């Protein structure tokens, strides 16, 4: 039972990446649009004060903010696509139709039952407008529920076919036929059930908010501790996009979730200071500063003869973490050889967020320095207190460096540059990797053709027949396999450049960094050839 629950959670976790990967782009574009309408920036750069650039900025930010009020629909479609076993595009389209059916069915039932609020304002009533239809305020949870339900029905009935005159009602059309009564019944049931969940979520949100520094520490530490399982975004997503992360009225519109709130506040000139709920997205402190200190400590503690190799590995990893907020290459460099360091990393990450809260910082810093500068500098110090964020970051850098250096020396951890010759913990620099590949893969290069490393990866995963599904997130190739014991983690790390491999039952995660999308495409292409 425990294994099945973990597998279901990991599958749901992978499905959530479809909407989650897109939403940060929206924030960056909102910040970019704000550059063209920022009064302070216009004082410094007068040429921006013209109807063309200000109009462009207004249109860009105004159009993107509409996404924040329709997150339920976005998650419904994304989750359905992610959980569908086949015909994923059809599953997404069916989920869109199902979403429309559900909100209108709930509205009609609430109207018949006489529970629709008829006042001018819906704030505080537990009801809201969704696509112009008044329903219970379920926020992003509505999308999660409908995406899951649609995927279940889709996977169960997508292969159903009929003969004769009823043949046209098979497949995807039958899925929608079954889905309609399911969603209608669900809308009726949730009309009675959801208020209890709504009360529980509000109570949990209040408990977390009132727990102060402890709640923030627990949040920050758990978000990092779950990195190896790939379930870490199940911790932060509810805080970013639901009422758990706060509720605020901005420009006459009510927004739920830390990220939704500060996106709206960015473009509202009447907001003089960002909401304190921005703390739930302050995860960049360890990414931009803390792990850089860890890298410096690992370099200083490397054996003298290995410092050159350690530098070649650590500098690219540190730069990627600092600039883009991609941390897995660093984290997996010490996760398996020194788990204690990973626990310390999680603790220090949580403490960094606590300092963010105690210093009353309002800066936006979920990822790397590019995001940090684009979001905060144009908004100004008064609105974000961003210099204090830098101060906390420097403190985090010092704490990571001191802790990692002390623990590596005390326990003789085999971190980068300290491994025994030929030991399993050995990692390869880019130069080492190229040299090794030229010797080991040259004989098969003609066979590989345009597939790059895909044949080696597939073979290390137990062959094409052992692979059931292939997806990816920001930095990881995520797979499910028939027989996990066939996966050769050493080959994946030493011959394909993976910085880490996580095997949990039938779920396999291979960490490749930012190039993972190209790797996933190559693997899919190669698997297609193998199965044809």
Is the pLDDT at 237 greater than 80? The verdict is: yes
Cα–Cα distance measured from residue 39 to residue 44, given in angstroms and rounded to the nearest whole number: 9
pLDDT digits (tens, 9 = 90+) for 415-447: 888 876 554 334 433 334 344 444 443 333 333
Q: Is 425 exposed, middle or buried (0-12, 13-18, 19+ CB in 10 A)?
A: middle
DSSP secondary-structure letter at 250?
Answer: E
Strand runs (DSSP E) across 192-349, as ranges?
247-250, 253-256
Mean pLDDT of the chain: 84
Share of the chain above pLDDT 90, in %: 35
pLDDT of residue 424: 39
What value does the mean pLDDT take over residues 75-82? 92
Q: Which of 109-118, 230-239, 427-436, 461-470 has the lowest mean pLDDT?
A: 427-436
Is the pLDDT at 507 greater than 90? The verdict is: no
Beta carbons within 8 Å of 302's beta carbon, 6+ residues apart = 309, 310, 415, 416, 417, 418
Beta bridge partners of 510: 477, 501
Phi, psi of 45 (to 5 degrees): -120, 85
pLDDT band at 324 (very low <50, low <70, confident <90, very high): confident
What value does the mean pLDDT take over residues 172-200? 92
pLDDT digits (tens, 9 = 90+) for 366-397: 888 988 998 898 888 999 999 999 999 999 99
Paired tokens of 516: 């993972």
pLDDT of residue 185: 96
pLDDT band at 343 (very low <50, low <70, confident <90, very high): very high
Active-site positions? 473
Is the pLDDT at 268 greater than 90? The verdict is: no
pLDDT band at 6 (very low <50, low <70, confident <90, very high): low
Query: Reduced to 3 states, what is the DSSP secondary structure of residue 45?
Result: coil
pLDDT of residue 530: 53
Strand runs (DSSP E) across 137-239, as ranges?
none
Report the predicted TM-score, pTM, of the whole model to 2 decimal places.
0.69
Q: Which of 337-351, 412-426, 453-467 has the lowest mean pLDDT?
A: 412-426
- Higher pLDDT: 360 or 471? It is 360
Q: Which of 120-124, 406-410, 445-449 has the lowest mean pLDDT?
A: 445-449
Distances (CA, A) of 18 to 10, 261, 434: 14, 21, 33
Q: Which of 76-80, 154-158, 396-400, 450-454 has the lowest mean pLDDT?
A: 450-454
DSSP secondary-structure letter at 132?
Answer: T
DSSP secondary-structure letter at 501?
Answer: E
Q: Is 24 exposed, middle or buried (0-12, 13-18, 19+ CB in 10 A)?
A: middle
pLDDT band at 184 (very low <50, low <70, confident <90, very high): very high
What value does the mean pLDDT take over residues 64-72? 82
pLDDT digits (tens, 9 = 90+) for 12-22: 777 777 787 77
pLDDT band at 265 (very low <50, low <70, confident <90, very high): very high
- Higher pLDDT: 431 or 311? It is 311
CB 311 within 8 A of CB 318: no
- Higher pLDDT: 22 or 338? It is 338
What value does the mean pLDDT take over residues 240-263? 87
Q: Is 7 exposed, middle or buried (0-12, 13-18, 19+ CB in 10 A)?
A: middle
What single string gives the DSSP state of each residue in 333-369?
Answer: HHHTT-HHHHHHHHHHHHHHHHHHHHTT-----SS-H
212-218, long-range: CB within 8 Å, 24+ apart, which pairs?
A: 212/357, 213/354, 213/357, 213/358, 216/279, 216/350, 216/353, 216/354, 216/356, 216/357, 217/350, 217/351, 217/353, 217/354, 218/350
Beta carbons within 8 Å of 209's beta carbon, 6+ residues apart = 215, 246
Cα–Cα distance measured from residue 392 to residue 352, given in angstroms and rounded to the nearest whole number: 7
pLDDT of residue 414: 86
- Higher pLDDT: 261 or 13? It is 261
pLDDT of residue 76: 93
Distances (CA, A) of 14 to 23, 106, 507: 15, 29, 11
pLDDT of residue 435: 44
pLDDT band at 166 (very low <50, low <70, confident <90, very high): confident
What value does the mean pLDDT take over residues 292-304? 93
pLDDT of residue 403: 96
CB 458 within 8 A of CB 464: yes
């Amino acid at each position: 039972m425990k294994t099945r629950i973990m597998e279901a959670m990991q599958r749901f976790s992978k499905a959530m990446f479809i909407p989650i990967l897109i939403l940060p782009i929206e924030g960056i574009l909102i910040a970019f649009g704000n550059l063209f309408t920022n009064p302070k920036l216009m004082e410094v750069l007068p040429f921006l004060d013209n109807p063309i650039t200000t109009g462009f900025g207004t249109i860009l930010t105004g159009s993107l903010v509409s996404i924040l009020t329709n997150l339920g629909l976005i998650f419904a479609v994304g989750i359905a696509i992610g959980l569908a076993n086949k015909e994923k595009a059809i599953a997404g389209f069916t989920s869109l139709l199902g979403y429309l059916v559900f909100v209108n069915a709930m509205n009609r039932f609430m109207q018949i039952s006489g529970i629709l609020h008829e006042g001018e304002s819906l704030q505080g009533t537990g009801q809201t407008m969704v696509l112009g239809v008044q329903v219970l305020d379920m926020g992003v949870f509505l999308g999660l529920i409908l995406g899951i339900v649609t995927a279940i029905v889709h996977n169960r009935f997508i292969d159903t076919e009929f003969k004769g005159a009823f043949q046209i009602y098979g497949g995807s059309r039958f899925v929608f036929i079954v889905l309609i009564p399911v969603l209608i019944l669900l809308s009726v049931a949730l009309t009675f059930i959801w208020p209890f969940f709504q009360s529980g979520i509000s109570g949990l949100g209040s408990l977390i908010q009132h727990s102060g520094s402890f709640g923030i520490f627990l949040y920050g530490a758990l978000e990092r501790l779950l990195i190896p399982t790939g379930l870490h975004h199940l911790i932060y997503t509810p805080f970013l996009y639901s009422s758990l992360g706060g509720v605020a009225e901005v420009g006459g519109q009510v927004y739920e979730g830390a990220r939704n709130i500060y996106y709206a506040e960015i473009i509202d000139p009447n907001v003089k200071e960002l909401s304190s709920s921005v703390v739930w997205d302050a995860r960049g402190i360890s990414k931009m500063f803390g792990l850089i200190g860890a890298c410096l400590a690992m370099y200083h503690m490397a054996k003298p003869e290995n410092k050159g190799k350690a530098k070649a590995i650590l500098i690219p990893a540190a730069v990627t973490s600092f600039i883009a907020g991609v941390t897995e290459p660093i984290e997996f460099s010490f996760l398996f050889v020194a788990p204690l360091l990973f626990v310390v990393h999680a603790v220090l990450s949580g403490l960094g967020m606590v300092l963010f809260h105690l210093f009353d910082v309002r800066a936006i810093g979920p990822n790397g320095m590019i995001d940090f500068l684009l979001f905060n500098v144009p908004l100004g110090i008064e609105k974000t207190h961003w210099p204090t964020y830098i101060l906390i970051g420097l403190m985090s850098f010092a704490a990571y460096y001191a802790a990692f250096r002390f623990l590596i020396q005390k326990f003789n951890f085999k971190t980068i540059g300290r491994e025994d010759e030929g030991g399993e913990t050995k990692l390869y620099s880019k130069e080492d990797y190229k040299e090794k590949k030229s010797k080991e893969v040259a004989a098969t290069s003609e066979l590989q053709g345009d597939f790059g490393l895909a044949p080696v990866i597939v073979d290390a995963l137990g062959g094409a027949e052992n692979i059931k599904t292939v997806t990816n997130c920001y930095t990881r190739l995520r797979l499910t396999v028939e027989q996990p014991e066939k996966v050769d983690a050493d080959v994946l790390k030493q011959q394909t450049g993976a910085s880490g491999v996580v095997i949990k039952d039938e779920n396999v995660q291979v960490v490749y960094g930012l190039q993972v999308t190209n790797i996933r495409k190559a693997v899919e292409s190669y698997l297609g050839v193998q199965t044809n």
